[in-house]
Amino acid sequence: MYAPKDRPEILVPVRLDLASTFTFTCELKVACFGRCCQDAQIMLTPYDIVRMKNRFGITSDEFLALYTVPGPIENTELPIPYLKTIGKDERTCPFLDVKGCGIYEDRPVSCRYYPLGAGIFHNRDASEKERFFALVKEPHCLGHGLGREWTVREWIEDQGIPEYDEVNAGWVELILKRKSLGPFVTIPEKTLKMFFMGCYNVDGFRRFVFDSKFLDIYVVPQDRIDRMENDDKEILIFAFEWLKGTLYGEGKLPLRTQTATAEAE
């Protein structure tokens, strides 16, 4: 999922773990600098969108409309936004400038992982030591073998990945669960739209919670409601929990007594 392009053939078939080492650098002085930001197919995770929309001071609705195009998650009907590129042939990241990434501090997690691909989906329930990675070697990239040697663990920490993986964990679980159900289970279109809103349109989901009868139906502790009003991480994590019940009937939020009674009648 966190390979930067949807091209399995560019992954070197060598299994790595957190202790594995590789030598790599990505600097302006390397001749290929910025080339990986062209011909890009970058899938955006929920926390990617939060970081970027906040950087630009816009809502998630606006960010999705301006900078993304929809697409499916591999082997599922679940939707995911892809970063909209510039140029018909080059398909360049819109945030690339002459000095490199113009949003480097808030760049997507797939860019942070590069040159690694992370086997997260098939190992989400395993321990940390059992996570696996692969080295991405694209023909144009000249950074391999240059600079310092890294362990996979060091690279992940240096690139600020743990925060992204922590916030996105519930989203990954939703996708893993869908894949485990197989191709003969279908999800209604209306539910897919709720999945998209809950996972990627954090401001839209916040309106759904606070401007509808949502809180009249579900029991949500007041301290959590207070946190969700202004904290994008909190509302995202809540959305993942709610979707788990909505999509799969697991861990459903408790209903208020009058609602539960009405449903029983």
Mean pLDDT of residues grouped by 10 in the chain (265 residues)?
A: 46 76 93 88 96 98 97 93 88 91 96 85 45 86 94 97 96 93 90 97 98 96 96 98 95 77 45
pTM comes to 0.88
What is the rounded distance in angstroms from the CA atom of residue 34 to the CA atom of residue 178? Answer: 35
pLDDT of residue 119: 67
pLDDT of residue 252: 87
Q: Which of 26, 43, 75, 34 is nearest to 176 (CA)?
A: 75
pLDDT of residue 183: 85
Q: Which of 251, 200, 209, 252 is nearest to 230 (CA)?
A: 209
Q: Which of 250, 256, 244 is nearest to 220 (CA)?
A: 256
Residue 45 contacts residue 199 (beta carbons within 8 Å): no
pLDDT of residue 53: 98
- The string of DSSP codes covering 139-182 is TT---EEEEEEEEHHHHHHHTTHHHHHHHHHHHHHHHHHHHHH-
Contacts of 160 (CB under 8 A, 6+ apart): 112
pLDDT of residue 258: 59
Please report the sign of the dihedral spanned by the C-alpha atoms of residue 241, residue 246, residue 249, residue 254: positive
Residue 12 contacts residue 22 (beta carbons within 8 Å): no
Domain parsing of the chain, residue ranges: 8-162, 182-264
- Name the strand (E) or helix (H) holding 54: helix 46-56
